[in-house]
Structure 1
Amino acid sequence: MQVHFIHPGHSYLPELEAYAAHLRPWGHEARTHQNASTVPADARVVWWMCGRVRTMDHQRFAQAFQVHEYASASVPPCAWAKDQIKRWTQPKPSYRLFQNEWVRQRLGFADDVPWEFREMGVSSTFLTPPTIQGAAEFDMVYLGDMVRLQHFLPVFEGLEQAGMRTLLVGSIPAPLQRQFQAFKRITVTGKVPHHEVPAQLRRARCALNLVPDRLPYSEQTSTKLLEYCAIGLPVISTDYRWVRNFASSNPAAIAYLPAQASASAYADFFRKTRDMASGPSPDMGGWAWPHTLARLNIWKAAGLAP
């Protein structure tokens, strides 16, 4: 059977690769589409990575088992309004997946559609120890959404003032390139294939988890923090609800940035934490994608499990 995943956005979703690997031993093939027009009308399983789903597209697959997956609530601007629009206008699927209880309550669907939670996972490449580990080339590494770094420029100014070398894994969006060119101690890798990311992270002694303390980000899983912990890196993070909850149940080495500080205050903070040790490392084996996906009931509900 072919399982058709519809992902209209531009963000990288590692779960799509994990789904394909999970389905393969059962003889199924996963196909990813940017829009519904390339999905055949006789598809048996259509899996929407929501976004808005147009009713006319949904109706074209009326005979299919249709999944609506909400790995995140809507993001600003107008995040709350967008979630309300989804609540009242989204067509009714066969099954829903939510990242967590907050996302489910935020969307607030009041019907009898079966649902369950699907947490984020970690690729096995992050859990495999390196064969050789030399001295760190960089003091800090950042992995993740580069657009949001516009809100954290004083943090990078503080790193510069503290004389620290920083590695950014990914590509700087055009509107930010001029600002980051002014930083002399920052190296940008450009786009990196996902399987090469662990080697890039291991080039640094510490990792940055820069997440705004605002909805929906403050209530949702930070995939990059999971990956940092799987590598065994200590983490310097912004202070928000989800990361505090994670740290309370996982013995990770996490230090918290002061909120909305000046560049010089950030520089003082980084100097004080320069020798931050790795400390205890949480056991991230349970976060590996095979374990995360094996816990789901959807495979039987959709007729995919043997």
Structure 2
Amino acid sequence: MATGKSVIRFIHEGKAAYPDVKAFMEYFGGTYEVLECSPSEAAAAPDLDRTVCWYMMGFYPKKLPCALTIHDYRSLSVGRGRKLKDKVKKLLNADPDLRFFQNDAIRTALGFKEDSRTYYLPMGVPSQFIDQRGLRAEPGTDFIYIGSMLGERKCELMLDSFLKRFGVAKTFDLYGPPNPELEARYAGKDNIRFNGLIPQERLPAILKAARVGVCYFPMHYPHVLQTPTKLLEYGALGMRILANDHPQSRITSQQYDIHCQWGDTTDMFAGVPDNLDWPDNATTDAAPMAWPAVIRDSGVEEAIRQALQQR
């Protein structure tokens, strides 16, 4: 790494999945050396004087002697004591040079004031979803859901509504980390199929084989403040979408002109027509959803460049 380029180290504890980091590394890789590492690896780096330390935020109370420090709040804490965890992050983390937030709702929830260091870096979609929007696939299922099925997500609200509306008349495929309790609840329902995890590169083809993409996102904290990435992915692929009436989904659909059939979170399938014929997103312009466009439009690239110039 003796190129003389500035370095961006994307730093996290590895406790959560950060597909965004891959997109950031691809985008900035032409201008900077880019690395993904742990906090201890960053602290031991020999070239901190030319390093941008870009933290995917957790608890980092010590500021390293690097060229630039960025705190990136992609999401809020989950689990027990989550609000206390977020308060600790605000009060005890080191003071950064720049702060990035997924959206304004997350900034507000964390209690940070909007100032000259504040930038918004929303979610985007990988290019493969846009590149494969014209893919033709034989229908394999009526409805598809991709994502977490942890108990706190309350996916039973979605599945109970589906059964109430369609019984055995339609099929519903779900992909994501297994939840034995949820699978046991719907054992014997042959038209509800749990398929487990699949590699992201296979997602577009699997999604295009479904008649409707289901975007169900919980209405409780912290999920009510976060942007569902699946809404963007379904829209980028041109799919027909059923979404629960989630505030960030509404904002995202308006921002990118993504068409959806909306349903109440407690019974989201109630108003779904039998022939599943509401407008899809085949004519929606997907280019603004792509990660390069999202990053470019956010202003963070120029913010980093200017901050480094002032050092």
TM-score range, shorter chain: 0.7 to 0.9
1:171 to partner: Cα distance: 2.5
**For residue 24 of structure 2, what is the aligned residue in structure 1?**
19
Q: How does 1:1-306 map onto structure 2 within 5 Å? A: 1-26=6-31, 28-33=32-37, 35-39=38-42, 40-42=44-46, 43=48, 44-53=51-60, 55=61, 58-59=62-63, 61-109=64-112, 114-129=117-132, 132-147=135-150, 151-160=154-163, 161-261=167-267, 269-270=271-272, 272-280=273-281, 281-295=283-297, 296=300, 297-301=302-306, 303=308
* CA shift in 2, pair 1:2/1:206, >3 Å: same
- For the residues of structure 2 that align with 1:278 and 1:111, how far apart are their CA atoms? 38
TM-score (norm 1): 0.84
Contact 2:144–2:214 at 8 Å: present in 1 too?
A: yes
* CA shift in 2, pair 1:5/1:250, >3 Å: closer
Contact 1:48–1:69 at 8 Å: present in 2 too?
A: yes
- For the residues of structure 2 that align with 1:248 and 1:140, how far apart are their CA atoms? 23
Contact 1:169–1:188 at 8 Å: present in 2 too?
A: yes
Helix, strand or coil at the partner of 2:193:
strand
Identical positions, percent = 24
- For the residues of structure 2 that align with 1:96 and 1:75, how far apart are their CA atoms? 20
Q: How many residues align?
A: 293
- For the residues of structure 1 that align with 2:155 and 2:226, how far apart are their CA atoms? 19
* CA shift in 2, pair 1:7/1:274, >3 Å: farther
1:132 to partner: Cα distance: 4.9
Unaligned runs of 5+ in 2: 1-5
- For the residues of structure 2 that align with 1:114 and 1:104, how far apart are their CA atoms? 12
TM-score (norm 2): 0.82
Contact 1:2–1:45 at 8 Å: present in 2 too?
A: yes
Helix, strand or coil at the partner of 2:212:
strand
Helix, strand or coil at the partner of 1:25:
coil
Write out the 4+ residue segments of structure 1 that deviate beyond 4 Å after TM superposition.
110-113, 266-270
1:100 to partner: Cα distance: 1.5
1:77 to partner: Cα distance: 3.6
* CA shift in 2, pair 1:221/1:12, >3 Å: same
Letter in 1 for 2:17: Y
RMSD: 2.7
Unaligned runs of 5+ in 1: none
Contact 1:68–1:95 at 8 Å: present in 2 too?
A: yes
Q: Which moved more, 1:179-188 or 1:218-227?
A: 179-188
